[in-house]
Each structure stands twice: as structure tokens, then as C-alpha cells.
């Protein structure tokens, strides 16, 4: 088995432009032409796929039945190559196991792959030194910051179900296993992304005595080949257990396509410009329910933000879970980046004049916005 590589053939340099849907990335080649590339990664990747981000594309074989000529193979995070093709994750793990490259897993071997069991399908059936067999699932991890790797970066009900199923199939001397394939160096610990998917994080914690978790960090060299080094990251369970709460704050981004006026109770008649609004709110009793209410179209208009949501064309929510109230702290940082607007909006219990801010372009595509999320989400123990 040859050393895994990010691309087959000649790598093609490009810059990220936009992602019109989950499966396509528009990229600008060195000659200035803009092409569609297949995106083989269902994650949000918001912190990586920023306009102008350096990318590596792979040219698809003529035998590949795809509408696009290219596939997105990797993106640079600063000077590090981050593999995007989750379809290659299993072959990478197979290589690591065969060559005994993962610390602590030197004694296992793969028996078969894509193994069906009941109504489920698992990535590998493996065998330990004692001849006992168990299932191994692979999860590709690209979400990293502040020395922390996190998974998932989008809600994964399938991932939660797999953890429960693996726990049921575990035996004391042959625990089911999840190998988190972490892309990039510089990470010291692994934490389930309780901000994005609290259910997954809770299930992961609940079954941790029955399922073995191995966060294995890998790197790619300048020739786009896998480096001969793997580091297993620490999982700080004591810290994680204190963070599995449905409380904290949230950011809403709202797109307004049509200029209009709205009446917001005591605030009176206000003009709404075309563009994007960023709202900072709090949910210290039931954060998930609060966010779900904002995203629901049919509801009684109660809070200031309800009136703006009512005329928005698109709404995105970004929860930031915390045992403590951090709404004003976040709003203070947002105010450094974006224009405060509509004085009195959502700030009745804050020292700030407003918790609503304006941007002419989509803040989610701004590096500053993604850095702010990283600052408040990637909290170290």
C-alpha cells in the first residue's frame, strides 16, 4: 500500500470563491478562470472556506462520472494543508493501522471494511492481539483552533446513532472504537463540538466507558503526501462534562433583500436597509429552544428580534454554549467589527446601546467573524 496522497496526478492551485451548495465549490484558477469543483465534504467548513483561501484541486479522471472537471482536495489553514476529501479518510486509516502508526493501536489489524451489522454499516471490522474482533468507525476532523480539535462542525444525527450502536456492540476486552482523523498540527486536545451538536456531545460522554475514542492528528508534507507521524490527542472529560449545558449566548445573521420599514413596539417605526444584520442574544434557560423559535417563521412577535426575523430572507444561528452569561461580552466584540444600529434593540439588560449590528456583505464569509466564533467557542480548560 503506497503512502496516501491528497491528489492523484498533478495538483492544481486555486483560490476559493464561494460555495453555492454543499457539493460544489467555485474556485479561481491561476489563469483567472472560475470553475466548479466537487466538494467531497458535507461539513460547513466556514472557518476554512473563506474568499481567497488557497486550495488544491484534483482533476477528475475521464472515467469519473461527475459533472465537474475538478474535485476539491485540500485547503490551506495558514501554512498547513487540510485535506477536504472525506471519501479518502478510510483508506488513510487503513494505511495507518497496517503500518502501526497510531500510538496505542499497534496491536490491531483490519479484517474487513464497510461491514454491515443489522441495519447499520460500520467502516471497519478489526481484530486485536487476543483475536477478539470489534467495530471501528472513522470521523474526519477539520475544525480546529486554539490548540483544540472539534467534531462535528454540523449536526449529525447519524453520528449520534452510530455511537449508541457501537456502545451496544462493545465487549469489556474488545471495545468498539471511533478514530477521529484530525487534520493538521498544533492541536493538543480533542473536544466534541457541544456548541454545534449538543446531542452528539452528550451521547459521546454517556457512552465513553463502552466506546474507545482515538483522536489521531495527521499532517501532509509539501509534496501532498502523508507525513510519517501521528499524535493522539488528549480528551479533557472533566472540562467537557461542565460544558454540556443548554445555556449561553448566540449570534444570528439575517439577510434582508428588500428595503422596508417595520414597527417594533416601543422602538417605533424603523428603517431596514438591504444587507446583513448580526444579532447577539442570550438563552440561559433553554438555548436550543430560543434559537429554534427565532428560526421558526410562524410565531407571535414578542421580542425585538422577532420583528426583524419576520422580514428576513435568510437566517443563520451560531450558538455559543457556556455555563455563564456571555451575551454582553460577545456583543462588545461584535461592536468592534460591525456597525451598531437601531439603538435600544435587544439591549434592555446590557450596558451597550444595541445588540444589533449591520454589514453590507455576509459576515459568515468574513475572516473576522469566524475568528470571533473561534475566540468564544474554542475555550481551553
Extract the C-alpha cell encoding 284: 440561559
| Residue 47 phi, psi (nearest 5) | -80, -15
Strands 70-77 and 34-38: parallel
Predicted local confidence at residue 172, as pLDDT: 85
Question: So what's the pLDDT on residue 63?
Answer: 59
**First vs last Cα of the chain: how many Å apart?**
40
Domains observed in the chain: 12-83 (2.40.50.580), 87-243 (3.40.1350.60), 248-377 (no CATH)
**Predicted confidence band at 334 (pLDDT cuts at 50, 70, 90)?**
very high
What percent of the chain has pLDDT above 90?
85
Please say if the pLDDT value at position 375 is more than 80: yes
- Strands of 143-145's sheet, edge to edge? 143-145, 148-151, 189-192
Residue 94: pLDDT band with limits 50, 70, 90: very high
Report which of 330, 317, 242, 328 is spatially closest to residue 287, judged by C-alpha positions.
Answer: 317
Q: Above 70 in pLDDT, residue 367?
A: yes
380, 338 Cβ separation under 8 angstroms = no
pTM of the complete model: 0.94
Q: What percent of the chain has pLDDT over 70?
A: 99
Kindly indicate the confidence band of residue 64, based on its pLDDT and cuts at 50, 70 and 90. Answer: low
pLDDT tens for 281-295 read 999 999 999 999 999
Predicted confidence at residue 298, as pLDDT, reads 84
Higher pLDDT, 265 or 325: 325
For residues 46-54, give the mean pLDDT: 97
Q: Using one digit for the tens of pLDDT, what is the confidence trace for 221-278?
A: 999 999 999 999 999 999 999 999 999 999 999 999 988 888 887 788 888 999 999 9
The per-residue pLDDT for 297 is: 84
- Read off the pLDDT of residues 132-183 as tens digits, 9 standing for 90 and up: 999 999 999 999 999 999 999 999 999 999 999 999 998 888 899 999 999 9
User: Would you list the DSSP string of 49-73?
Assistant: --TT-EEEEEEPPTTS--SSSEEEE
Mean residue pLDDT across the chain: 94
What is the structure's pLDDT at 35?
A: 96
Predicted local distance difference test score (pLDDT) of residue 62: 66
Q: Would you state the pLDDT for residue 262?
A: 85
Nearest-angstrom CA–CA distance, 193 and 219: 22
Residue for grid cell 475568528 = 371
- Give strand pairing partners of 28: 15, 34
Centre a 10 Å sphere on the Cβ of residue 353 and count the other Cβ atoms it contains: 14
CB contact at 8 A, 53 and 373:
no
181 and 230 Cβ atoms separated by less than 8 Å: no
Q: Which pLDDT band, with edges at 50, 70 and 90, does 1 fall under?
A: confident
Amino acid at each position: 500500500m503506497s503512502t496516501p496522497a491528497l491528489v492523484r496526478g498533478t495538483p492544481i492551485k486555486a483560490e476559493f470563491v464561494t460555495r453555492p451548495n454543499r457539493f460544489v465549490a467555485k474556485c479561481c484558477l491561476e489563469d483567472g478562470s472560475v470553475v466548479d469543483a466537487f466538494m467531497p465534504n458535507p461539513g460547513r467548513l466556514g472557518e476554512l472556506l473563506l474568499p481567497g483561501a488557497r486550495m488544491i484541486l484534483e482533476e477528475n479522471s475521464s472515467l469519473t462520472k461527475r459533472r465537474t472537471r475538478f474535485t476539491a482536495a485540500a485547503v490551506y489553514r495558514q501554512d498547513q494543508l487540510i485535506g477536504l476529501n472525506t471519501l479518502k479518510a478510510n483508506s488513510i486509516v487503513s494505511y495507518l493501522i497496517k503500518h502501526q502508526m497510531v500510538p496505542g493501536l499497534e496491536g490491531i489489524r483490519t479484517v474487513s471494511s464497510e461491514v454491515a451489522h443489522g441495519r447499520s454499516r460500520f467502516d471497519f471490522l478489526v481484530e486485536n492481539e487476543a483475536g477478539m474482533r470489534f467495530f471501528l468507525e472513522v470521523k474526519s476532523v477539520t475544525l480546529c483552533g486554539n490548540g483544540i480539535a472539534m467534531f462535528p462542525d454540523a449536526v449529525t444525527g447519524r453520528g449520534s446513532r452510530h455511537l449508541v450502536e457501537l456502545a451496544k456492540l462493545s465487549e469489556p476486552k474488545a471495545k468498539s472504537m471511533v478514530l477521529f482523523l484530525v487534520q493538521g498540527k498544533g492541536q493538543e486536545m480533542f473536544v466534541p463540538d457541544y456548541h454545534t451538536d449538543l446531542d452528539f456531545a452528550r451521547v459521546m460522554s454517556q457512552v465513553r466507558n463502552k466506546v474507545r475514542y482515538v483522536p489521531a492528528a495527521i499532517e501532509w508534507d509539501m509534496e501532498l503526501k502523508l507525513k510519517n507521524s501521528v499524535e493522539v490527542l488528549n480528551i479533557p472529560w472533566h472540562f467537557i462534562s461542565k460544558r454540556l449545558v443548554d445555556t449561553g449566548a448566540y449570534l444570528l445573521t439575517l439577510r434582508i433583500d428588500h428595503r422596508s420599514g417595520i414597527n417594533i413596539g416601543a422602538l417605533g417605526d424603523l428603517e431596514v436597509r438591504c444587507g446583513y444584520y448580526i444579532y447577539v442574544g442570550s438563552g440561559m434557560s433553554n438555548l436550543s429552544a430560543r434559537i429554534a423559535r427565532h428560526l421558526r417563521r410562524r410565531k407571535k412577535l414578542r421580542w425585538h428580534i422577532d420583528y426583524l426575523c419576520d422580514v428576513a430572507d435568510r437566517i443563520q444561528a451560531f450558538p455559543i454554549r457556556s455555563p455563564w452569561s456571555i451575551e454582553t461580552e460577545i456583543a462588545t466584540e461584535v461592536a468592534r467589527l460591525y456597525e451598531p444600529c437601531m439603538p435600544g434593540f435587544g439591549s434592555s439588560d446590557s450596558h451597550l446601546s444595541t445588540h444589533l449590528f449591520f454589514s453590507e456583505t455576509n459576515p459568515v464569509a468574513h475572516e473576522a467573524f469566524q475568528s470571533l466564533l473561534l475566540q468564544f467557542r474554542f475555550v481551553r480548560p
